[in-house]
Structure 1
């Protein structure tokens, strides 16, 4: 009997409280940090797209190259580059011609630039390698055909199936949106919310000057460059969720379990790691804003994902005995407990790691809501053991 989910849905919710110093890691069309009004006050905001990309880049660092995925308009150029060294492909023009014919059955609209697609296409490196292997022994034969015959031959090779299956974890987690081709669409198993500050913020500006070294050496006055950068500082509430059931479907279409199970559980672990440790890099050299979270709480649910941003609808203000981060952690813990009591659906598993003294009020609130505090490695081990033990059957 293959491994199978015992619950129809399994969601892994990740709640993070993180304080960031003066920064502009995700700017708007004016060059200033993005923001939003929530609870009637202006909040700092980091878009879900910005943190998803930072997470995806961090996630890729931990995976072998053959498991990497790429999102680009230039998929044809990438395939042509791989076809270049294939015996029987004499030059770059032939490689481009063969690549174009192989991708034609996908039906992806052409972009404005020659060779580009009309939109970003997310694919796994291994998927292109499978295409190259498909034609490696037939390249001279295929290139001898005229354009019409070559396109017709490629249409019968089942190229679409190469992009409907065998997804790397990146694609299985973050999904692939192809607006006009439902057959190539991959529903993301991960959702990431916009990060919001738990408190009100004001936009500030850093007025800077850059000195021309040669001007200084000649004892002349004046700046070589003058400008300003908008910034703010904030304690952020960050939230993401992974649907383990959807991840399994993406990795193993038509069934849940089998060889996909270890990859799915490992993928959840790696996603939690990357989401917790990643930070968007905008103006990173100017502000050096990378920090680690004050709290990471993981909640496994079998009903629905639950974003706890409602904890901060009334903005947090610093108290006399604690800062905004500590107050935000306590608010989040209280909201989690309140939601569980109100809806009567306690989560099957919770765990947390925090940066506060074990004898503090904050630690007590976290322990009451999410269980005893632990280090990050133990949190990941506990999550992996729970998923592997609670939602799969034996034997493998």
Structure 2
């Protein structure tokens, strides 16, 4: 196993198209790191540079402390699992698992030992004589992972390996990948645009946008303390409600965040951090789960809403409503599973003020205040 370090890495195509721009990141030995971001943000390009499938325009890549910029992909001791699995259609599952080892000159007995061990681990021992066309999507995904595992590499690079699976199978395979990491303890870098995968699987998330790293941290730390409106609006589903507003100073040092007709008093603990921004335009960030049907003693404020629609999801209901009443900015709020409201119904919700986020109205960067525990 080995740690991976990116030092001021850039990738430029054709001399002018910048896909990755001067990023630095250290991935610890044995860490499960998620690269998260929308299409075109540079996450797959970064993964391919680590694997040696893309050249590095600028900067240094270190694996296990050794510079790898000019090392052939085959000599980096890294296994890659692609979105389309890339299995050899004319070979059996056993043939696919052992092909890479055969090319490396591993003796037959050792190849058979590894195939047996990995097929048992992945639950595909009954499939060894089948060909890829005879397998389901989930089975092909397991074979692709098994082919990477059988090599016993320093690190695994996973490029959206779950994106071709249906929702139920994706959920099952997320669990399998977590269990697999616990078993083998090898460094894993997993590229995805799926927020659920990022939150549930990774020990840390690296969020990317337009070729830059925006924020890196443990999933819950990033979720609770987003660096800017991009992270706040991208992570989680439904995402944070982001509303154009203004921060107003009231007599006695009180502060209120205004969003449409809604007026949200700033908690005492946050005033020192926000006081210097009084009188400025802001973006108010309100998580859907921080709206409640009943008051929270000492920390909530009532807000009027007008129902637009409800989404019945089974374990919960998503309320879509206009904040402050008719014509106000639209928000989403998580409600209990037995919640019902007709379109046009006017309600009073209670927002947990200890969870409010304020962002600079121009830059979108978060306004500093004590972190949420």
TM over 0.5: no
- Relative contact order (C-alpha < 8 Å, sep 6+): which is higher? 1
Identify the structure with the greater helix proportion.
1
Which has the larger share of strand? 2
TM-score w.r.t. the length of structure 1 is 0.28
TM-score normalised to the size of structure 2? 0.30
